[in-house]
């Protein structure tokens, strides 16, 4: 029997799978929409299951910020190869997922998968993911996401080459400053906003190491103490946003820049694709630094 374009369109919307797969399934089931949907689910599930054990440490990061800049979401979607990660389809999936996180506030990835891929659409995010797996032939998954909100402040964002994403919550300043700070976080990798956020145990451990190193210098105790305190201060400046030299103007610190603008950073989140997963070594932070210097 003849399968119409409208039938194919309806099945694609229901399943999130490709046009050719949907047309073939409708042909095999003589146009029975329910049977075709079941057939595709079976095929997709088998294909997804076969690929589920394969390492997916490449991928893309997408960010969606609400128009009022009060709410934002960042999503990491993983795949197996950089070739697929650079494709428009996986980016479209990541962006659509970030939009759903902003509006639906899912508790975790399992809850996220159950949401409609788009508001009012019959296909879920899980079904859309299965469609990508079938079409692109790789293990694809949403690894993690983060949702931020602020009442009085605003949110800045920056994505570098799809590989690094940053969200920054700020009180004061403008959108340009927020982007600059987000770009700085991408390049300089601070672990905390300020010194008071650094765990005391971490500081004590570093101080112990520095004391042992300085003690072997043979210098007087008071000099050793000054050496240790100097190294501890350097360590704290290196790991805190406020203590770091601003990437676009190394002669000033981020803290001084923010004070000059009457701005406070309330917090930030930094994602880098595949961090903590088995993958090849890429220095994306160095790429960001090169980008900053070229601006």
The per-residue pLDDT for range 108-158, each reduced to its tens digit, is: 999 999 999 988 888 899 988 888 887 888 889 999 999 999 998 999 999
pLDDT per residue as tens digits for the range 254-265: 999 999 999 999
Q: Please tell me the total number of residues recorded for the chain in this structure.
A: 295
Inside any domain, residue 19: yes
CATH number where 14 lies: 1.10.8.10
d(CA 262, CA 172): 6
The pLDDT value given to residue 54: 60
We report the CATH number of the domain holding residue 217 as 1.10.286
Choosing from 217, 237, 257, the residue where a domain stops is 237
pLDDT in the model for residue 211: 81
Q: Is residue 229 part of a domain?
A: yes
Here the contacts of 118-123 (C-beta below 8 Å, separation 24 or greater) are: 121/13, 122/13, 122/14, 123/13, 123/14, 123/15, 123/16
State pTM to two decimals. 0.76
Record the tokens describing residue 245, joined without a space: 């030299």
131 inside domain: no
Residue 273 lies in a domain: no
Count the domains in the chain: 2
Residue 230 forms part of a structural domain: yes
Mean pLDDT of all residues in 152-174:
95
The answer as to whether 143 is a domain residue is no
Q: Which residues pair with 33 in a beta bridge?
A: none
8-state DSSP, 90: H
Q: Report yes or no on 204 lying in a domain.
A: yes
Residue 107 lies in a domain: no
Question: Domain of 29?
Answer: 5-51
Judged on CB neighbours under 10 Å (0-12, 13-18, 19+), 134 is buried
- For the chain, the first-to-last Cα distance in angstroms comes to 60
């Amino acid at each position: 029997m003849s399968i119409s374009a409208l039938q194919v369109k309806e099945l694609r919307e229901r399943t999130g799978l490709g046009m050719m797969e949907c047309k073939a399934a409708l042909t095999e089931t003589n146009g029975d929409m329910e049977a075709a949907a079941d057939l595709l689910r079976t095929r997709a599930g088998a294909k997804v299951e076969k690929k589920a054990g394969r390492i997916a440490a490449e991928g893309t990061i997408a960010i969606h910020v609400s128009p009022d800049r009060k709410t934002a979401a960042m999503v990491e979607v993983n795949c197996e190869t950089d070739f697929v990660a650079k494709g428009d389809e996986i980016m479209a999936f990541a962006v659509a997922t970030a939009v759903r996180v902003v509006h639906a506030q899912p508790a975790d990835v399992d809850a996220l998968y159950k949401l409609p891929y788009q508001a009012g659409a019959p296909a879920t995010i899980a079904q859309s993911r299965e469609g990508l797996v079938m079409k692109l032939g790789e293990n694809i998954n949403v690894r993690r996401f983060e949702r931020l909100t602020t009442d009085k402040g605003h949110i800045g964002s920056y994505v570098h080459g799809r590989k690094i994403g940053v969200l920054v919550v700020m009180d004061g300043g403008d959108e340009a400053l927020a982007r600059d700070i987000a770009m700085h976080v991408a390049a300089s990798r601070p672990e905390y906003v300020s010194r008071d956020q650094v765990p005391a145990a971490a500081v004590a451990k570093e101080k112990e190491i520095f004391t042992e190193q300085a003690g072997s210098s043979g210098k007087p105790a008071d000099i050793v103490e000054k050496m240790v305190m100097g190294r501890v201060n350097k360590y704290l400046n290196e790991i805190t946003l406020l203590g770091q030299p601003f990437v676009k103007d190394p002669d000033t610190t981020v803290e001084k820049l923010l004070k000059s603008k009457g701005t406070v950073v309330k917090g930030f989140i930094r994602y880098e694709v595949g961090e903590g997963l088995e993958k090849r070594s890429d220095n994306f932070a160095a790429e960001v630094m090169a980008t900053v210097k070229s601006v």
